[in-house]
């Protein structure tokens, strides 16, 4: 049994495939159901019968006769078309019969079919709308994948560790005074001396001054809707922890900024112009010595984490590592070293930590509403810490800050 491949035949004929195929199927629709399975007539004879049965107009019937002859010659009567395809084509022809006849008469192209090319199934095919909300709102978009999971880890931006309470003496109290008045010694008049028999003893007068230090309040707030707290429980809990953490970080950074501001800046020393190829280790030891000359005992070095390598890594001219002889048990010449991004890369601080005193409250957290928040179902959380940092003016020589590049240039032996 011969079959006719209609699509190939029409394409070889040079006609527009959709309109020509549609017209042909309209004329031989019944033939697709029966005659193609078991036909004894040639396609040309079969076409003639259909033209008469359907009363095809003369100009159109001639076009169909030519088409049948061309198909029979080019294909040998073979066609590859499924039952579903037949029904689909036939229904399409019935729906557009008038337009097809007109297209043949006017010899104008007619598009009846949209050819769709199947695509492979990939994970990247997209997402699916899970449904539209009632009333206002848009479709909820979800992932098409079945093999998915939601991590229970909430990732947050990494911040430097708080270190200041590990460095200076501090106390947590329930209330921090608004002002701290400190009594400190001022310049002494006269001095003790060796005297001869019957000579007057020198008069010594000790003088005192009072200094005042004001407390500071470090605070922040968050606001949220009732729906956010209900629907985002894990994130809401994390946000509360984050504001508490950030207030503590603000205290850490604020206290360090005060320490740097109140520190004595390095300008020169007995070692100026005497050190061969000075490095950061040399500078830390020199600052320790300057502090010692003021009768203080430096015990802490603060340096940027990235500059910490300058203290630890030493090499020969050939690149071999050298153990820094000033380091022992993690200390530099007896001083603990703290590396932190909070310290600027350009700076180094050496100090006697005991000259500082700090008092602070715990993180105070309060929840309430303001303005129209009550009627809009919104809330506000305030987090705050009161802190006061104390140091006597006469103790500031026990804390030294140096700009590394400037100080190394001062120490270098030319």
140 lies in some domain: no
Cα separation, 143 vs 124, whole angstroms: 10
The pLDDT of residue 32 is 44
78 and 211, same structural domain?
no
Cα separation, 81 vs 75, whole angstroms: 14
CATH code of residue 235: 3.30.2400.10
Cα 43 to Cα 9, 28, 137, distances in angstroms: 13, 10, 60
pLDDT of 403 > 90? The answer is yes
19 lies in some domain: yes
90-124: per-residue pLDDT in tens?
776 677 777 777 776 676 766 655 555 667 777 67
With beta carbons less than 8 A apart as the criterion, state whether 77 and 4 touch: yes
264 and 364, same structural domain?
yes
Of 72, 106, 140, which residue is a domain's last? Answer: 106
218 and 98, same structural domain?
no
By C-alpha distance, which of 339, 333, 248, 253 is closest to 297? 333
167 and 74, same structural domain?
no
215 lies in some domain: yes
163 and 93, same structural domain?
no
Q: Which of 53-57, 79-83, 334-338 has the highest mean pLDDT?
A: 334-338
The pLDDT of residue 107 is 66
Other CB atoms within 10 A of residue 50 CB: 20
The pLDDT of residue 392 is 94
248 lies in some domain: yes
238-286: per-residue pLDDT in tens?
999 999 999 999 999 999 999 999 999 999 999 999 999 999 999 999 9
Of 106, 135, 162, which residue is a domain's last? Answer: 106
**Max Cα–Cα distance, the chain, nearest Å:** 158
222 lies in some domain: yes
With beta carbons less than 8 A apart as the criterion, state whether 254 and 218 touch: yes
**Average pLDDT value over all residues in the chain:** 82
pLDDT of 216 > 60? The answer is yes
Cα separation, 190 vs 188, whole angstroms: 6
102 and 156, same structural domain?
no
248 and 314, same structural domain?
yes
The pLDDT of residue 234 is 92
Q: How far apart are the first and last CA of the chain?
A: 107
With beta carbons less than 8 A apart as the criterion, state whether 295 and 355 touch: no
286 and 201, same structural domain?
yes
The pLDDT of residue 98 is 76
Of 106, 140, 170, which residue is a domain's last? Answer: 106
79 and 210, same structural domain?
no
307 lies in some domain: yes
Cα 267 to its chain centre, rounded Å, is 43
With beta carbons less than 8 A apart as the criterion, state whether 332 and 367 touch: no
125 lies in some domain: no
Per the model's pLDDT, the better-predicted residue between 42 and 282 turns out to be: 282
156 and 32, same structural domain?
no
The pLDDT of residue 61 is 65
164 and 101, same structural domain?
no
Residue 90 in tokens = 């036939």
37 lies in some domain: yes
Residues 6+ apart with CB under 8 A from 274: 411, 413
pLDDT of 127 > 90? The answer is no
> Could you identify the residue written with the tokens 């006597």?
392
Considering its fold, how many domains does the chain have in total? 2
47 and 179, same structural domain?
no
3-state secondary structure the chain: CCCCCHHHHHHHHCCCHHHHHHHHHHHCHHHHHCCCCCCCCCHHHHHHHHHHHHCCCHHHHHHHHHHHHHHHHHHCCCCCCCHHHHHHHHHHHHHCHHHHHHHHHHCCCCCCCCCCCCCCCCHHHCEEECCCCCCCCCCCEEECCCCCCCCCCCCCCCCCCCCHHHCCEEEECCCCCCEEEEEEECCCECCCCCCCCCCCCCCCECCEEEEEEECEEEEEEEEEEHHHHHHCHHHHHHHHHHHHHHHHHHHHHHHHHHHHHHCEECCCCCCCCCECCCCHHHHHHHHHHHHHCCCCCCCEEEECHHHHHHHHCEECCCCCEECCCCEECCEECCEEEEECCCCCCCEEEEECHHHCEEEECCCEEEEECCCCCCCCCEEEEEEEEEEEEECCHHHHHHEEEEEHHHHHHHHECC
pLDDT of 365 > 80? The answer is yes
Which domain, by its residues, includes 285? 151-414
By C-alpha distance, which of 384, 296, 302 is closest to 349? 302
Cα 169 to Cα 164, 184, 355, distances in angstroms: 9, 19, 8
Residues 6+ apart with CB under 8 A from 11: 17
pLDDT of 11 > 80? The answer is no
Cα separation, 247 vs 245, whole angstroms: 6
């Amino acid at each position: 049994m011969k079959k006719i491949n209609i699509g190939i035949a029409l394409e070889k004929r040079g006609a527009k495939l959709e309109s020509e195929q549609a017209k042909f199927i309209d004329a031989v629709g019944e033939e697709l159901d029966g005659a193609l399975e078991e036909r004894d007539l040639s396609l040309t004879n079969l076409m003639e019968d259909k033209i008469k049965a359907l009363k095809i107009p003369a100009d159109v019937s001639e076009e169909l006769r030519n088409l049948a002859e061309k198909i029979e010659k080019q294909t040998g009567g073979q066609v590859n078309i499924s039952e579903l395809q037949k029904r689909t084509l036939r229904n399409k022809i019935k729906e557009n019969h008038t337009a097809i006849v007109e297209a043949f008469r006017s010899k104008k192209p007619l598009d009846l079919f949209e050819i769709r090319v199947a695509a492979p199934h990939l994970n990247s095919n997209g997402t699916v709308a899970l449904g539209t909300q009632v009333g206002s709102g848009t479709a909820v978009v979800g992932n098409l994948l079945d093999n998915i999971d939601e991590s229970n880890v909430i990732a947050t931006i990494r911040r430097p560790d708080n270190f200041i309470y590990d460095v200076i003496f501090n106390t947590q109290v329930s209330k921090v005074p608004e002002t701290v008045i400190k009594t400190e010694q001022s310049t002494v008049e006269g001095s003790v001396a060796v005297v001869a028999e019957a000579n007057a003893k020198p008069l010594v007068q000790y003088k005192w001054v009072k200094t005042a230090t004001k407390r500071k309040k470090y605070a922040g707030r968050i606001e949220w809707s009732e729906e956010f707290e209900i629907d985002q429980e894990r994130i809401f809990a994390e946000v509360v922890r984050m504001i508490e953490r950030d207030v503590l970080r603000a205290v850490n950074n604020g206290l360090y900024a005060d320490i740097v501001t109140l520190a004595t800046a390095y300008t020169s020393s007995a070692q100026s112009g005497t050190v061969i190829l000075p490095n950061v280790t040399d500078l830390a030891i020199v600052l320790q010595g300057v502090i010692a000359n003021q009768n203080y005992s430096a015990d802490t070095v603060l340096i940027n984490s990235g500059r910490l390598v300058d203290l630890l890594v030493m090499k020969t001219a050939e690149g071999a590592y050298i153990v820094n002889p000033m380091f022992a048990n993690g200390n530099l010449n007896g001083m603990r070293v703290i590396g932190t991004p909070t310290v600027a890369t350009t700076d180094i601080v050496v100090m006697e930590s005991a000259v500082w005193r700090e008092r602070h409250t715990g993180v105070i957290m309060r929840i309430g509403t303001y303005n129209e928040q009550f009627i809009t179902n919104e809330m506000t959380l305030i987090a705050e810490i009161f802190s006061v940092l104390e140091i006597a003016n006469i103790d500031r020589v026990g804390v030294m800050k140096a700009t590394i590049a400037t100080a190394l240039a001062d120490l270098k032996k030319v």
